[in-house]
């Protein structure tokens, strides 16, 4: 019987791993996140493809249809994976990392600023060699992952808690500062023609958090 039992166990393992590795939209299942310019640009591109192959549907209906399909896909995937959850957990065969699905065409850069004498000045700007306060921590691979995620609205609570974690350090290092301001600078990636001509898109700021530093001293 052992060869049959062994074959069954191997088949169980293969099925469990394949199901865990099946396409997942986890992390993208908040409809508000679909309003992001990068996501909208991808949807525009795929709507053009759909129209080209004969699926004549309005842009909004196209997005609504994809959302409903995504919900059904995730519900089905969750139902299939639930029986294997203990297997994945105890054997460590879960798949927690997702592949990149599209380039980030509207990248965001974290700005950390302090207010001194009524004016704000940057102390840290991501990937800026002139503003590197606490860069050893903020530029670490693990922290950069968190900083990227906090640029999305789905991580509002995480972002707020992170600023509260950051504030005591800023208060200690900048005793004359009255406020801490964190925000994300968003700028569209240049097209090939813009890159050749040196043209850059306008920078807009969003996700601004301001805290009074006196509360942390």
Specify whether 73 is located in the same domain as 121.
no
Compute the mean pLDDT over every residue in the chain, rounded to the nearest whole number: 90
Per-residue pLDDT at 217 exceeds 90: no
Of the candidates 175, 43, 157, 37, the one whose C-alpha atom is nearest the C-alpha of residue 108 is 37
pLDDT at 68: 94
Task: Check if the beta carbon of residue 35 is closer than 8 Å to that of residue 43.
Answer: no
Let me know if residue 100 belongs to a domain.
Answer: no
- Residue 20: CB atoms within 10 Å: 19
Ranked by mean pLDDT, the top range of 110-114, 149-153, 190-194 is 110-114
Quote the number of domains for the chain: 2
Q: Is residue 87 part of a domain?
A: yes
Q: What angle do CA 6, 12, 16 make, to 5 degrees?
A: 150
What range does the domain containing 37 cover? 2-91
Residue 33 lies in a domain: yes
Per-residue model confidence as pLDDT tens digits over 154-202 = 889 999 999 999 999 999 999 999 999 999 999 888 888 988 998 888 8
Q: The whole model's pTM is what?
A: 0.68
**Distance separating alpha carbons of residues 190 and 201, to the nearest angstrom:** 7
Q: Give CA separation, 138 vs 17, 108, 110, 134, 210, in Å.
A: 35, 15, 10, 6, 19
């Amino acid at each position: 019987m052992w060869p049959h039992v062994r074959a069954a166990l191997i088949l169980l393992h293969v099925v469990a791993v394949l199901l865990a590795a099946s396409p997942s939209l986890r992390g993208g299942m908040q409809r508000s996140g679909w309003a992001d310019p990068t996501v909208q640009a991808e949807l525009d591109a795929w709507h053009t493809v759909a129209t080209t192959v004969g699926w004549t549907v309005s842009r909004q209906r196209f997005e609504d249809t994809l959302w409903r399909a995504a919900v059904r896909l995730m519900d089905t995937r969750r139902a299939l994976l639930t029986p294997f959850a203990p297997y994945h957990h105890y054997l460590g065969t879960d798949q927690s990392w997702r592949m990149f699905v599209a380039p980030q065409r509207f990248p965001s850069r974290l700005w950390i600023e302090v207010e001194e004498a009524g004016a704000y000045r940057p102390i840290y700007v991501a990937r800026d060699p002139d503003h590197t306060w606490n860069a050893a921590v903020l530029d670490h691979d693990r922290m950069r992952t968190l900083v990227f995620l906090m640029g999305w609205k789905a991580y509002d609570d995480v972002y707020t808690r992170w600023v509260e974690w950051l504030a005591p350090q800023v208060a200690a290092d900048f005793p004359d500062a009255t406020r801490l301001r964190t925000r994300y600078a968003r700028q569209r990636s240049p097209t090939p023609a813009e890159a050749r001509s040196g043209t850059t898109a306008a920078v807009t700021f969003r996700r601004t958090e301001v805290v009074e530093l006196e509360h942390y001293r």
